[in-house]
Amino acid sequence: MRTTSDRIRHAISFEVIGLILITPLGALAFDKPVEQIGVVAFVSATMATGWNYLYNLIFDHALLRIRGAVQKTVPIRVIHAILFEGGLLLILLPFIAWYLGVSLLEAFLMDLSFAIFYLVYAFVFNWAYDVIFPVPAGTPPGNA
């Protein structure tokens, strides 16, 4: 298991790098001012940071209970990323529609596009994070 400080480093670095990538890409893709996409991205990142911490804590505890270890195989990483993004999509949909003044369908398509980006990004980022900051093998829960 990871420590609280490691989980915080993980969540913040994930969101900062994601913001740097998604803001200009979103403005370009949706023909919206970079400032508007920046606000949507910042609010989304703030909400996602809390969701990221909570979701990963729950997911790791579930893995530990089910498998006896928190190490993730490729199929588990795929499931992890899909469930994370699905939950976040539901959380963010009303805000995107309201702030950008678009229909729920348009907001859903935008949110889905962001989710697809973040689905791939989360898979790559989390894999890289685990390589750069591995959980020590055989560490008792709560002591990593």
Q: Which two tokens stand for residue 49?
A: 């940071």
The residues near 73 (Cβ < 8 Å, ≥ 6 apart) are none
Region for residue 72 given its phi and psi (left: phi exceeds 0; alpha: psi -120 to 50; beta: otherwise): beta
pLDDT along the chain (144 residues), means of 10: 89 89 94 95 86 90 92 91 86 93 93 87 93 78 48
Region for residue 142 given its phi and psi (left: phi exceeds 0; alpha: psi -120 to 50; beta: otherwise): left
CA 77 vs CA 14, 71, 104, 119, 140: distances in Å: 16, 10, 30, 10, 22
What φ, ψ does residue 117 adopt, rounded to 5°? -55, -50
pTM beyond cutoff 0.95: no
Cβ atoms of residues 1 and 135 within 8 Å: yes
Q: Which two tokens stand for residue 50?
A: 């809390």
Per-residue confidence (pLDDT) for residue 22, from 0 to 100: 93
Q: Which two tokens stand for residue 43?
A: 């609010």
**Rounded Cα gap, residues 28 and 69, in angstroms:** 42
